[in-house]
């Protein structure tokens, strides 16, 4: 039996983005939907970067917003798969996204006990 679930995580802004007062253009109106903020959509249409008919609402099995921490993500999606593998049930957790989209952050978080390297400069 296959059980494939697709989840999306909006990462928090990084230090550089926060220092520039950038804002996230995506919002999560419910636990399974992500869409462009209406102001961002209007700006992109006005700048002719997208057309008004461009799809801007996407559905997933679950959407995590930037305030969800790694423990919440683990308990919601990963724990069941990890514990099942200890009983001999195959499972895969696959992370996909462009560079800087938050894959490593989601899997590892930030090590608060070591000096952080700032890769954002």
Residue 108 has pLDDT above 80, yes or no: no
Residues 6+ apart with CB under 8 A from 38: none
- Residue 120 pLDDT > 60: no
Q: Which residues contact 96 (CB under 8 A, 6 or more apart)?
A: 103
Which pLDDT tens digit goes with each residue over 4-46?
889 998 888 888 889 999 988 999 999 999 999 999 999 999 9
Which pLDDT value is given to residue 31? 93
Q: Please state, in angstroms and rounded to a whole number, the distance separating the CA atoms of residues 55 and 36.
A: 10
Q: Is 119 a residue whose pLDDT tops 70?
A: no
Q: What pTM was computed for the model?
A: 0.71
**Residue-averaged pLDDT of the chain:** 83
- Residues 6 or more apart in contact with residue 83 via CB below 8 angstroms: none
Sorting pLDDT into bands at 50, 70 and 90, what band is 112? low
Query: Looking at residue 1, what is its pLDDT?
Result: 46
- Residue 50, pLDDT > 60, answer yes
């Amino acid at each position: 039996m296959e059980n494939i679930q697709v989840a999306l995580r909006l990462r928090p802004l990084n230090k550089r983005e926060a220092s520039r007062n950038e804002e996230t253009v995506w919002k999560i109106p419910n636990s399974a939907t992500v869409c462009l903020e209406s102001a961002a959509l209007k700006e992109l249409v006005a700048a002719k970067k997208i057309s008004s008919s461009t799809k801007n609402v996407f559905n997933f099995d679950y959407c995590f917003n930037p305030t969800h921490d790694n423990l919440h993500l683990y308990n919601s999606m990963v724990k069941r798969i990890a514990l099942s593998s200890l009983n001999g049930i195959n499972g895969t957790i696959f992370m996909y996204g462009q560079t800087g989209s938050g894959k490593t952050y989601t899997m590892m978080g930030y090590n608060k006990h070591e000096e952080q390297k700032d890769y954002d400069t």
